A and B are shown apart, each in its own frame.
Chain A
Amino acid sequence: MTSASHLSRVLNLVPYLLARPGIRIDAAAEDLGITVAELRDDLTLLWMCGLPGYGPGDLIDIAFDDDTVTVTYDAGMTRPVRLSPDEALALVVALRMLADTPGLSDPDAVARTLEKVAAAAGDAAASAARISVSSTVDDAQVDVFSGIVAQGHAVRLTYYSAGRDTSSERVVDPIRVVIADDHAYLHAWCRRAEDVRRFRLDRIDAYKVLDEPADIPPHARDHTGSPGAAFADADLPRIVLRVDKSARWITEQYPCEFSEPQPDGSWLVTMRARDLEWAKRLVLGLGTEAEALEPPRLREMLAADTLATLARYDA
């Protein structure tokens, strides 16, 4: 926790305890995400604070009763501080993003929460009004799959893997639907891989909800696989491409180790490929806007592939 958060915590601790007379110390510490020792430390600090005069009747008084705590004198600290503009922004924008997410089980509750929090924030929420958010994805499948997650059954998927350019079937135990980087994904325990995998919803070509309930290993629930992780692996083949500036978007799409502009306006990009077949498809898909420089084997594959294909159009 940052130091600023510590001051905020201490300033708001008295109102927190006032709202919950006789709360158990361990329950309060858990609620605040701190240890019992840290909480006791904060309480002793507050004992030293109070109204000018700082005599026995002026200082904040807190009564301990074995495991519970009660504020007996608050020195005027009855309410928490208003939300700061940064805090209001972080909460209001997160709620607006959530409200804009398809497939919510209770969109009404999100709308009510947003209204109440914005009202409580008052002027502090003004800068959040300078931020607009639009639906991150437009996908009817989000509705379908968040419904399947709520239902809690295993699903058989026919999934197209763009990386391998293959479609395959597998049985998964759905965990949740996650919307990131302009796409919606199903996070699920993949029984074949015996690991958590994310499946892009627009690449699920078919699905069948099974009768058996989803069986998710406890440790898998908190797992969040990064889509880029597989590409950053040092064991994967390193490729070097020269791309035109019109194809520079690939550096935003795929994790690159290195990219640098050249005097002729092109860019040199170094990245890891899943395998050389994948790299070949990437380079061919970029057409004349890219040239593979390394490794030599990739160049040979590209030469052989294009020449063989060209022969079919010679007529």
Chain B
Amino acid sequence: MSRLRTERLVNLVICLLSSRRYLTAEKIAATVPGYAHDAADTRAHEAFQRKFERDKAELRRLGVPLETGTNSVFDSEPGYRIARREYELPEVRLTPDEAAVLGAAARLWQHSKLAADAGDGLWKLRAAGVDIRGGEEPDVAPVLTVDEAFAPVMTAVRERREIRFEYLGKTDDASAKRRLQPWGLACHRGRWYVVGLDLDRDATRCFRLSRITGPVRTAGKADAYRIPEGVNLLDHVANFHADVPELPARRATILVAPGRAAGVRRRAEQISARQADGDRLVLTFHDPRRFAAWLAGYGADVTVLEPPEVRKELATLLADIAAKYTETASTRHEVTA
């Protein structure tokens, strides 16, 4: 922003704050430096109107409550004013430890837009007399970040406006168009989700922001729907993640090559005395298939001794994997040769 525009906006704020009456654009142009123009000159007047519109938008973005209204029923043109009570940040007193917490919290954002917003907010609190020093980092801190879709989705939630986006679900082949009335955002285990009414399915749905591909577009009017009262966004997100019920716990005995497969060793409940071929470990498992798949990652370093069910699962899995690198390898070679 140019220095001239900053100066003009500061004067506009002081002028509107000092007036109890609504001031018309014409009156403002005649009063505040930087707006003077010949109203009879159509092009100059249009330029003023554009400038004034941009300035109003900028002030609203900063949180300045610009009111529009008329002083009496006889006024044909609306005017503007800023109610001091709405403009001013209320009294806020923080103890030194609270101010330190606030300073540390504001620095947690890793996302540039939110970090800047937090910094601007902090500055207003400083101007209210709160002393916030740089200070030490806390001993424990969450890393806060958001996905690209966060800002447009949040704006749509605020305006209660329908959004459209392309979404790549966990098992979708390609992104699909989705239409949603967003109710709110939830952060669950470090990941962001939007919860709302999926208009194509006519049901509550939850979408992970990082799987939204491309831009989020708004559609239709603001205030287009009501957000149901008492919705627990986190419940929806937790349901989205609901795991299949666990099978009963069982034990398996695994032979592990000496000094190998540390990842399996650290989960062992029992390790028997070493024999020449390696160590015999006892581990608890629930689902034989998932357990076998996990063990497969350790390759030739582990052999399942018991139970036969896990042995069979693992042998089948290994045979399937081996087939990819033996038969297909030769056919691939023939094709390229």
Residue B119 at the chain A interface, CB threshold 8 Å = yes
Residue B251 at the chain A interface, CB threshold 8 Å = no
> Could you tell me if A177 and B141 are in contact, using CB atoms closer than 8 angstroms?
yes
> Could you tell me if B118 and A117 are in contact, using CB atoms closer than 8 angstroms?
no
Q: A80-B127, A132-B184 are in contact. Are A313 and B140 (CB under 8 A)?
A: no
Which of B13, B142, B329 lies in contact with A303, CB distance below 8 A?
B329
> Could you tell me if B105 and A94 are in contact, using CB atoms closer than 8 angstroms?
yes
> Could you tell me if A82 and B87 are in contact, using CB atoms closer than 8 angstroms?
yes
Q: Report whether over half of chain A's contact residues are helix, strand or loop; otherwise say mixed.
A: helix
> Could you tell me if A91 and B265 are in contact, using CB atoms closer than 8 angstroms?
no
> Could you tell me if B62 and A8 are in contact, using CB atoms closer than 8 angstroms?
yes
Return chain A residues, CB-CB under 8 Å to B25.
Answer: none
Residue A284 at the chain B interface, CB threshold 8 Å = yes
In the complex formed, the residue of A with least CB distance to B3 is: A45
> Could you tell me if B6 and A181 are in contact, using CB atoms closer than 8 angstroms?
no
> Could you tell me if A288 and B141 are in contact, using CB atoms closer than 8 angstroms?
no
Q: A95-B101, A98-B142, A303-B326 are in contact. Are A6 and B94 (CB under 8 A)?
A: no
> Could you tell me if B1 and A80 are in contact, using CB atoms closer than 8 angstroms?
no
What is the interface size of chain B, counting residues whose CB is below 8 A from a CB of the partner?
Answer: 117
> Could you tell me if A127 and B157 are in contact, using CB atoms closer than 8 angstroms?
yes
Residue B283 at the chain A interface, CB threshold 8 Å = no
> Could you tell me if B157 and A130 are in contact, using CB atoms closer than 8 angstroms?
yes
Which of A95, A248, A299 lies in contact with B105, CB distance below 8 A?
A95
Return chain A residues, CB-CB under 8 Å to B108.
Answer: 94, 97-98
**Among B300, B317, B326: residue with most chain A CB under 10 A:** B300
Residue B138 at the chain A interface, CB threshold 8 Å = yes
Kindly identify, within residues 283 to 337 of chain B, every residue whose CB is under 8 Å from any CB belonging to chain A. Answer: 293-294, 296-300, 303, 311, 314-315, 317-322, 324-326, 328-329
> Could you tell me if B1 and A3 are in contact, using CB atoms closer than 8 angstroms?
yes
Could you tell me the distance in whole angstroms from the C-beta of A98 to the nearest C-beta in chain B? 5
Return chain A residues, CB-CB under 8 Å to B144.
Answer: 93-94, 97
Could you tell me the distance in whole angstroms from the C-beta of A107 to the nearest C-beta in chain B? 10
> Could you tell me if B299 and A309 are in contact, using CB atoms closer than 8 angstroms?
yes
Q: Which of A11-19, A62-70, A189-197, A268-276 interfaces with chain B?
A: A11-19
Q: A13-B127, A162-B263, A299-B325 are in contact. Are A119 and B141 (CB under 8 A)?
A: no
**Among A50, A91, A177, A282: residue with most chain B CB under 10 A:** A91
Residue B116 at the chain A interface, CB threshold 8 Å = yes
In the complex formed, the residue of A with least CB distance to B173 is: A265
Could you tell me the distance in whole angstroms from the C-beta of B91 to the nearest C-beta in chain A? 8
Return chain B residues, CB-CB under 8 Å to A310.
Answer: 315, 318-319, 322
Which of A88, A134, A245 lies in contact with B121, CB distance below 8 A?
A88
Roughly how many angstroms separate A137 CA and B190 CA in the complex, as a whole number?
A: 8
> Could you tell me if A4 and B58 are in contact, using CB atoms closer than 8 angstroms?
yes
> Could you tell me if B11 and A49 are in contact, using CB atoms closer than 8 angstroms?
yes
What is the interface size of chain A, counting residues whose CB is below 8 A from a CB of the partner?
Answer: 121
Contacts between the two chains (Cβ within 8 Å), count:
357
> Could you tell me if B140 and A109 are in contact, using CB atoms closer than 8 angstroms?
no
> Could you tell me if B190 and A136 are in contact, using CB atoms closer than 8 angstroms?
yes
In the complex formed, the residue of B with least CB distance to A180 is: B143
> Could you tell me if A2 and B116 are in contact, using CB atoms closer than 8 angstroms?
yes
Q: A265-B173, A299-B325, A305-B300 are in contact. Are A31 and B126 (CB under 8 A)?
A: yes
Could you tell me the distance in whole angstroms from the C-beta of B267 to the nearest C-beta in chain A? 10
Q: A52-B31, A130-B158, A303-B325 are in contact. Are A90 and B139 (CB under 8 A)?
A: no
Kindly identify, within residues 285 to 315 of chain A, every residue whose CB is under 8 Å from any CB belonging to chain B. Answer: 285, 287-288, 291-292, 299-300, 302-303, 305-310, 312-313
Residue A178 at the chain B interface, CB threshold 8 Å = yes
Roughly how many angstroms separate A299 CA and B328 CA in the complex, as a whole number?
A: 11
Return chain B residues, CB-CB under 8 Å to A77.
Answer: 13-14, 17
Roughly how many angstroms separate A19 CA and B310 CA in the complex, as a whole number?
A: 72
Which of A32, A109, A137, A183 lies in contact with B97, CB distance below 8 A?
A109
Could you tell me the distance in whole angstroms from the C-beta of A113 to the nearest C-beta in chain B? 4
> Could you tell me if B314 and A313 are in contact, using CB atoms closer than 8 angstroms?
yes
Q: A79-B128, A109-B98, A167-B265 are in contact. Are A136 and B324 (CB under 8 A)?
A: no
Which of B58, B266, B322 lies in contact with A7, CB distance below 8 A?
B58
> Could you tell me if B329 and A299 are in contact, using CB atoms closer than 8 angstroms?
yes
Residue A233 at the chain B interface, CB threshold 8 Å = no
**Additional pairs, 9, CB under 8 Å, beyond known A11-B9, A120-B125, A287-B320:** A7-B6, A10-B10, A31-B126, A81-B88, A81-B89, A95-B102, A98-B141, A105-B139, A245-B171
- List the 4 closest A-B pairs by CB distance, nearest first: A285-B297, A84-B63, A87-B121, A3-B1
Q: Would you mind naming 14 contact pairs between A and B with Cβ atoms under 8 Å apart?
A: A6-B1, A7-B9, A32-B126, A84-B62, A87-B121, A87-B124, A102-B140, A124-B63, A133-B186, A176-B139, A205-B266, A306-B322, A309-B299, A313-B318
Instruction: Please list the residues of chain A having a beta carbon within 8 angstroms of any beta carbon in chain B.
Output: 2-13, 15-16, 19-20, 31-32, 45-46, 48-52, 54, 75-91, 93-95, 97-98, 100-106, 109-110, 112-113, 116-117, 119-120, 122, 124, 127, 130-134, 136-137, 142, 145-146, 149-150, 160, 162, 165-167, 176-183, 205, 221, 245-246, 248-249, 252, 261, 265, 280-282, 284-285, 287-288, 291-292, 299-300, 302-303, 305-310, 312-313
